[in-house]
Amino acid sequence: MGARSTIACLAADAARWGTTRLLHRGGGNAPGAVALRVDPGIIGSLGGRLERSVMVTGTNGKTTTTGLLADALAADGTRVACNRAGNNMESGIAAALVETRATRPQAGCFECDELYTVRVMPALRPRALVLLNLFRDQLDRYGEIDHTQDVIAEALRRSGKTALVYNADDPLCASIAARVDNPGLPFGIDEPTGLEADRISDSRFCARCNAPLDYEYVHYGQLGAYRCPECGWRRPELAFAAVNVTLTCGGFEFDVEDRRGSEVVRHHVRTRYSGLYMVYNVMAALAGCLVTGGDAARFQEVLDAYEPASGRGKTFSLDGGYQAVSMLAKNPTGFNRMIAQVRAEQGRYLALFLNDNDADGHDVSWIWDIDLERLRDLPDLRCVFVGGTRREDMAVRVKYAELPGAIELIDGVEDALALVEAGEKLHVVANYTAFPPVVAELERLERDWRAPVSATSSGVSHPERPGTSGPATTLDRPLRIVHLYPDALNLYGDGGNIASLSKRCEWRGIPCRVDQVLMGQELDLADADVVLLGGGADRDQLAVANELRGQTDKLTAYVADGGVLLAICGGYQLLGHYYMMGDQRVEGLHVLDLETTAGDTRLIGNVAVDSPVCDAPIVGFENHAGRTHLASGEKPLGRALVHGSGNNGEDGGEGVLHAGVIGTYLHGPILPKNPGVTDWLIAAALRRRGLDVELAPLGDELETLAHDVALKIAEKDRR
């Protein structure tokens, strides 16, 4: 090392000593941040001393895969540098290199945040990058998935000899491999499993021609065997393939076929962890081990001994026969995997912790893409506890899922255990910053907690479950709610808006039905009463624009006839004359007199709006680069109370209110915690049907709590 690198390492050592000895905290990122400040090239200096290295990135599973891969590389006695604690930004990787330099590591295995790959890979130049998956996650930080793909592709271009070991079952990963010249080694599950397919997907369109993809089978999310019927792009041939996947009482058994050579080499794997996501994690670790020169013969031994880091998936045994299992989930796909596990174990008590700190993302719209409804068939589900900084939002989500059992707001795990029956298991699912406190509390309770003498859940206090309020409304046919293109425009939890509309009708005895219009289907608005047009990623929104352009007259006629329409974000932009997608001008539908230009920055944050639509301010979250300007004949939905937010950040207006049309940038989603807006849409639809009725009041305690929390956040931002 040069003198500068040596000084950087000494400064990092001092920072670690200060944080651990004086502040009594873990070293974390601080030593690496200090080292980088002294020597910005420290990763290259220390990484260049390694004989080989590998990086792991992706949305879900990074920490587990990295730890398992590091253990596999170390199984033959190789000294491995690794950021096992999950400090995966540039400073965390630098800290791991500095801390382990004294042992003279021979290999490196590093977890890396997706957006930091472009900063770390060109310096480290690893032998391989293992790309696990790409799912919607922290949209206010990462932006759309397209941006994450661009960053990873650029990182690979700057480290051209790095092999890309990627999940070919994910078209978002495969499309990155198709864009770069790096050696590609695809892995995937090469057969249908029929175990966990769900309704959530983050990629439905071809990376080459933007046509909708066809799937032979789906494992979960967008992972599966796909092809484009238009241009023929398809899942690549697999270099590493999982076959004979069998669910056992303790986890999974499967074979991983190494198909790189003229002869297939088969590795049999047994894992005690449930969930197909663990099949992918284990397979990725084995593939990374093989590519990076590890000893695959010891892999099963390593897998048997491996324990997930930081209490992930750990079962805590407590006094009185109680058990609690800690489960980390930070996005819809991760939560759905945990929900599948709760369902498989016939869980009776569930605790959900939701935070909205910087590391979590401040936008909580994504909880409406969690498939909680899959728990409806658990007959013995007694209670769902909700905690965290945004527990009220999660409580509303649980309410609209209509699960059996009670809903209880709690401050911590101990509050839940006090209401759990003796000897029962509590499944605790927490997002990113909520998880460490949950684990710390469970560790304390495992040592110190004493079970109540007579534990019972009969004392759980919760809002009364909704029932029919007021006399049933007589209609010649149900209200028809039409959800346009949920298979493409699904970025901001619009399922919550549909749930709010349909449930608030149902709870009042107003007959209604929800129809989905999917890509490629004929648009029929002849008897539509409420239409929802949501927001999507750029590629998906462009596909919808092309789809609707030939049917614009139907939407125009519907609006002209007083039709009720809610358009969110991209759907709102699409109703105007045009919007900008980067430098590309995309022709709009010309339904409303507005246009959207491109801004230099994104408008991101919590917003509150004074609007004539309802008495309480409308609250929500915005995240858009477009700047929408209304013509003089259009009026905004309301006045934004947060400076620099709304349509364009300048004129103070937010959204548009045009007869029965509400267009808005607010998600969250907007309707569940703004029941007044939902009721305005329902009442407008009934008036159009000739029924000028006063809607019966509903018990909106949870909705009001969630609304008030969001309003306080917006008011704080306003100050």
Confidence bin at 461 (pLDDT 50/70/90): very low
CB under 8 Å to 131, separation ≥6 — which residues? 57, 58, 152, 164, 165, 166, 167, 173, 176
Distance CA 428, CA 551 (A): 47
565-606 pLDDT, tens digit per residue, is 999 999 999 999 999 987 889 999 999 999 999 999 999 999
Confidence bin at 460 (pLDDT 50/70/90): very low
Q: Residue 143: how many CB atoms within 10 A of its CB?
A: 18
CA 143 to chain centre: 12
Domain limits, the chain: 41-307, 311-448, 479-718
Same fold across 41-307 and 479-718? no
Cα dihedral 24→37→163→290 (10° resolution): -30
What does the pLDDT average to over 160-189? 96
Give me the pLDDT at residue 202, please: 60
In CATH, the number for domain 479-718 is: 3.40.50.880
Confidence bin at 457 (pLDDT 50/70/90): very low
- Of 3.30.70.120, 3.40.1190.10, 3.50.50.60, 3.20.20.150, the CATH number of 41-307 is 3.40.1190.10
Is the distance from CB of 202 to CB of 222 less than 8 angstroms?
Answer: yes
Is the distance from CB of 391 to CB of 409 less than 8 angstroms?
Answer: yes
Given a cut of 70, is residue 260 above it in pLDDT?
yes
Give me the pLDDT at residue 719, please: 58
Give me the pLDDT at residue 220, please: 84
Give me the pLDDT at residue 247, please: 83
Catalytic: which of 427, 483, 658, 667?
A: 667
Pairing of strands 214-220, 184-189: unpaired
What does the pLDDT average to over 542-551? 88
- The CA–CA distances, whole Å, from 126 to 9, 48, 133 equal 21, 9, 19
CA angle 675, 680, 681 (to 5 degrees): 100
Give 231's DSSP letter: T
Is the distance from CB of 408 to CB of 383 less than 8 angstroms?
Answer: yes
Q: Residue 421: how many CB atoms within 10 A of its CB?
A: 14
Is 569 catalytic? The answer is yes
Given a cut of 50, is residue 301 above it in pLDDT?
yes
Catalytic: which of 483, 569, 658, 707?
A: 569
Confidence bin at 487 (pLDDT 50/70/90): confident
Distance CA 523, CA 685 (A): 19
Region at 634 (left for phi over 0; alpha for psi -120 to 50; beta for the rest): beta
The percent of residues above 70 in pLDDT, for the chain, comes to 94
Top-confidence residue, 711 or 307: 711
Give me the pLDDT at residue 309, please: 72
Is 231 catalytic? The answer is no
Top-confidence residue, 270 or 463: 270
Q: Which of 1-10, 236-245, 318-327 has the lowest mean pLDDT?
A: 1-10
Q: Helix axis angle, 145-157 relative to 117-124, nearest 10°?
A: 10
The tokens of 426 are what? 């509590």
Give me the pLDDT at residue 693, please: 84
Top-confidence residue, 242 or 454: 242
Give me the pLDDT at residue 501, please: 97
Mean pLDDT, the chain, integer: 90
Pairing of strands 107-111, 594-610: unpaired
Distance CA 496, CA 253 (A): 37
Q: Helix axis angle, 30-38 relative to 90-99, nearest 10°?
A: 90
- Residue in the block written with tokens 């509050």: 415
- Of 3.90.190.20, 3.40.50.720, 1.20.120.1200, 3.40.30.10, the CATH number of 311-448 is 3.90.190.20
- pTM, two decimals, is 0.81
Name residue 330's amino acid: K
Give me the pLDDT at residue 459, please: 37
